[in-house]
Structure 1
Amino acid sequence: MTDKTDSSRNPSRRAVLGAGAGLLSAAAGGMATPARAELGELSLPAKAPEQPPPGYNILFVLVDQEHFFEKWPFPVPGREYLKKYGTAFLNHQNASQVCSSARSVVYTGQHIQHTGVFDNMEAPWQANMSTTVGTIGDRLRQLGYHAAYQGKWHLSANIDAAKKPVDASLLTNRKIIESYGFADFLGVGDLIDGALGGYSFDNFSTESAVTWLRTKARELKAQGQPWFMAVNLVNPHDVMYVNSDAPGEVVQGKHAAYPIDRPPDNEIYVAEWDVPLPATRHQLLNTPDRPRAHYEYQATQ
């Protein structure tokens, strides 16, 4: 049986950019202040050009654990702006829902049997994704792009060495990300992926990206070199680590697999929206139509 893993390692510039119009979340030209989107307003993506203009820059924004809405039940002006003037995934299907596996598919375009990432990096049996697996960064570099990366990684455990931000080696982390085809990483590693990680670190990732756009991107423009910037935000992933126990009860927090925390006293986190919950919200966990894993996980708590 012929191994076709590397059959698309050297695509043409035209092929990648043509696919990029439907693959990447936002094509960045000028940046403007988004207008406020009304509740439930549906923004349609801009039509991709038949032929990308020279120096077609790409800003790719990835968020973590977000439910898909055709129409958002509350205002999200920033993302609606990106959706209107960029490209959004409206029919993306993911068969590898654990974080590291899913991210390996996103950033390589290959299935997990080729990326070698079958579980999250925290699992003792899961090895780092090999640097021989071609990434978006590798492919775009072949086409003359400067590929950069900011925010959450979760594709190699070697970037998760520090337990506190002050102990993180920025240079070591940058070299790790560089080995996967992405330059200019500025971050403390994947310790940002935990309780209140998005609340605590997403602003840092965003500001790092904005600073890059105001500095490095301008240098590249002057040199006539196109760029790709991946901005990886944690939220709404904070919901995974929320302590939802009612006052005086200890259910979720009794044997939590990961550290959990109460939502912070912040206007975004304390806001309430009148959004109907799905019918399965109060469904018993051991009914035949539910995955057995739901019940087994709850039974361990």
Structure 2
Amino acid sequence: MKNCMVSRLALIVGLWLVMVPVFSQQNKPKTPPNIIIILADDLGWSELGCYGNRFNETPNLDRLAAGGMRFTQAYATAPVCTPTRIALMIGQHPARVGITDYLDAKDEKFLSPNYVTLNEQLQKAGYHSGLIGKWHLTGDYGKKKGEPAKHGWDEVICSETGYIANGDYFHPYFFMPDITAKTEGEYLTDRLNSEAVDFIKRNQAKPFFLYLSHYAVHTKLAAKAGMVAKYAQKSGAGTKQNNPELAAMLESIDEGVGQIMSTLNELGLRENTLILFTSDNGGESNVTSNAPLRGGKSELYEGGIREPFIAYWPGSIKAGSVSTQVINTLDIYPTLLDLAAVKTTTSSILDGVSIASVLTGNKKSAPRTLYWHYPLPKPHFLGGRSAGAIRNGDFKLIEYFDNGQIQLFNLADDLGEQNDVAEKLPAKRIQLLSQLREWRKKTVTDFQKTTN
């Protein structure tokens, strides 16, 4: 009897010891993930190895995709940078804001501090926020009306204080004259990567939101000489598809991804950090090719708006998953608020949708209809024309405001948008055109509306 009781007691104690970790895990309070957004500038959909590129070398981004989720139908909200960055920061279509083109040096428009930016929302959940790099949500920097400091960032590091056109990648940086180099011959992308690592180390004890916004690979292209020489010697170098200088600039971005991953591993933060990587618009067609997509930056063809998009969060996002879900830059804002359990006010307008369930469950959300509004007083110097567009299902319609031309493409069997079926499918053309114009009436600010 005594031996039986001892055996039962031992069994109970053993079961309890086994169950304690389970109960502890279940009862352990969930903490919101650290969030890192890495945004490349003017990076085309097909520039990464994990998207099929065999000339550029992006091993760290490829590993990020292999360990997380890669989207094949992710879109920028505009074919140029400022409006897409607005969508990222406030979750509203730039057509609502009235800024639908990039802001030049003399432009008095800016993102008003009245909008609640993503970093300000995440601060409600205890996040410490940091912007490193490009902002470009103001035109005239001298007036400082739309500078990052007006938008509640806890830290603003190596972000332009002057207009940034034409690129500037080696110190001294003309658009950041107050920045002192940390190394001789300092390369800007390396500096931003280093600052990102330092930010993570400083803020490892609390939830943080890091927005690492690279200036690369915007023209004028400039990269470290040794890297350029390496790519210049590769087979096929020298064509638009295989640009050694662009490849070298991209490798520097990729190196930073590797440094960030190593830092997260060292600090034990990898499992509780969500990393998103994407770009603001397609590649510039004068320095690269976005093939198999048509067109590039400034155009509403796929080459101007379809982007690489990688989401990485070990244990929450299934490794090696590929999503065909149609998503938009606008979706980042509601997704991150969802994951951080931040509630917006009922009066808040959000044009994107949360894709949290897609990330964590590899599920598809409801079918999407996406809209673009890109009115121009004259053609963009890269070739873009004043236009609007809609994607519904596999069909995409482009309406040109300069001459009334309508183009319709079935992306399911014509990814390169070579076969205009607007005349062959009049009912579909009428449906989508009507839908696009109705959206404009409801969404576009009065002074920005296009007459139909």
TM-score > 0.5 by shorter chain: yes
The question of whether the paired residues in 1 share the 8 Å contact of 2:120 and 2:153 is answered with yes
Q: Residue deviations 1:110-129, cap 9 Å, x none?
A: 10123332222216455111
- 2:148 and 2:72 map into 1 onto residues whose CA distance is 29
**Of residues 68, 71, 79 in structure 1, which corresponds to 2:61?**
79
Instruction: List 4+ stretches of structure 1 deviating above 3 A.
Output: 84-90, 123-126, 190-196, 275-281, 292-298
Contact 2:82 2:137 in 1 (8 A): yes
Letter in 1 for 2:226: E
Matched, 1:136 2:95: no
The equivalent of 1:148 in structure 2 is: 130
Give the match for residue 182 of structure 1. Answer: 153
Where do 5+ consecutive residues of structure 2 fail to align?
Answer: 1-28, 171-186, 243-288, 295-377, 385-452
The 3 A distance-change label for structure 1 pair 90 and 197 is farther
1:191 Cα shift?
Answer: 4.5
**Cα distance change on mapping 1:123 and 1:294 into 2, 3 Å:** closer
> 1:109, 1:142 → 2: CA distance?
17
Matched positions, count: 200
Q: Which residue pairs with 1:167 in the alignment?
A: none
Rounded to whole Å, the distance in 2 between the matches of 1:203 and 1:213 is: 16
Amino acid at match of 2:156: F
Q: How many Å apart are 1:157 and its aligned residue?
A: 3.3
Cα distance change on mapping 1:161 and 1:77 into 2, 3 Å? farther
Separation of aligned partners in 1, 2:90 and 2:62:
26
Give the CA deviation at 1:66.
0.4
SS of 2:74's equivalent?
Answer: coil
The aligned amino acid for 2:37 is F
Alignment check: 8 A CA contact 2:82 2:101 kept: yes
Residue 179 of structure 1, CA deviation: 2.3
Asked if the contact 1:115–1:133 (Cα under 8 Å) also holds between the matched residues in 2, the reply is no
The one-letter code matched in structure 2 to 1:182 is W
User: What are the residue-to-residue correspondences of 1:238-257 with 2, within 5 Å?
Assistant: 238=219, 241-242=220-221
In structure 1, how many angstroms separate the alpha carbons of the residues matched to 2:70 and 2:162? 28
Which stretches in structure 1 are left out of the alignment for 5+ residues? 1-51, 163-171, 243-262, 282-291
Name the counterpart of 1:64.
Answer: 41
Alignment partner of 1:229 out of 210, 226, 233: 210
Higher strand share: 2
Give the letter for the 1:57 counterpart: N
Is contact 2:132–2:159 with CA below 8 Å preserved after alignment? no
C-alpha offsets along residues 244-285 of structure 1, whole Å, 9 cap, x if unaligned?
xxxxxxxxxxxxxxxxxxx5661233423535765999xxxx
| Aligned: 1:204 with 2:191 | yes
Shift, 1:62, TM fit: 0.5
Q: Distance in 2 between matches of 1:153 and 1:82?
A: 25
Q: What is residue 258 of structure 1 aligned with on the other side?
A: none
RCO higher in 1 or 2 (8 Å CA, sep ≥ 6)?
2
Check whether the contact 1:198–1:236 (CA below 8 A) recurs between aligned residues. no
TM-score normalised by L of structure 2? 0.38
Shifted more, 127-136 versus 108-117: the winner is 108-117
1:20-49 CA-partner distances (Å, limit 9, x unpaired): xxxxxxxxxxxxxxxxxxxxxxxxxxxxxx
Alpha-carbon distance in 1 for matches of 2:60, 2:142: 33
Greater C-alpha radius of gyration: 2
Alignment partner of 1:106 is 2:77: no
SS of the aligned residue for 1:267 comes to helix
Whole-angstrom distance in 1 between the partners of 2:163 and 2:382: 28
Deviations 1:78-110 (A, max 9, x none): 222333345555422234112111111122221
2: distance between equivalents of 1:93 and 1:197? 27
Which amino acid letter does the alignment assign opposite residue 199 of structure 2? W
Q: TM-score, normalization: structure 1? A: 0.55
